[in-house]
Amino acid sequence: MSSKTAASSSKTMASALRPSHQASPASVLFGQATLPPVVLASQSPRRKELLETLGFEPEVVPANVDEALFERTFSEPKALATALSQVKCRTVAKTHPNSLVIAADTVVVVDNQILGKPSSTADAERMLNLLQGRQHQVISSISVSYKGRSLTDCQTTLVTFNSLDPDTIAAYVATGEPMDKAGAYAIQGLAGAFIESVDGCYFNVVGLSLSTLRQLVGHLLSAQN
């Protein structure tokens, strides 16, 4: 075979192997031609951004659950995160039965103490003083629902903070970043500079483990086929 013929053959093969159109997120992640409409049962901008990085355009429908009631009922961190993600998912799925509903909840735990969102700047400083210079747990539960069927899974990530002096903590709290975050920090924000190590899924700390989500949605959709 001449070099010109070989080159022509190679081009033909490459053209045949090249997809005729860009693959959709659904086909890449779940082996599905299409996905049902996706609804995020959370008002967290971080979770919405994570879904958007996967190519989804989720409709945001907050569940408006009384989280304080669940915090009084469930003292075990994993049970609390699981119960909250499940009730959020069920609540929104009632009005969106034909959509893929995704709900999540994240808790930060140190010394068996659950750290929620700080109620004040002083509370944020208290939490960060508990976390600095040591390791803590971040537990995130994800629940998904579609056409009356639902699945839930929970993952734990270990995060170690650098030692922080009071002035650094006060300056960080003054930025406002900690005020709507469990544990009073955002690993994807300024607080990323305070992190010594992460043992486990990074996105679990942000609030939505993408690998766990892929597995849950994949199982849920395959069961519908």
Would you please indicate which residues are annotated as catalytic (active-site) residues? Answer: 105
Q: Which residues contact 19 (CB under 8 A, 6 or more apart)?
A: none
∠ Cα 210 197 105 (to 5°): 40
Tell me, what DSSP letter sits at residue 162? P
Q: In terms of residues, how long is the chain?
A: 225
Run of H or E residues at 137: strand 135-146
The DSSP secondary-structure symbol of 37 reads P
Query: Of 186, 179, 43, 206, which Cα lies nearest the Cα of 118?
Result: 179
- In the chain, the largest separation of any two C-alpha atoms, in whole Å, equals 78
Which residue type sits at 174?
A
- Residue 102: strand pairing partners: 40, 144
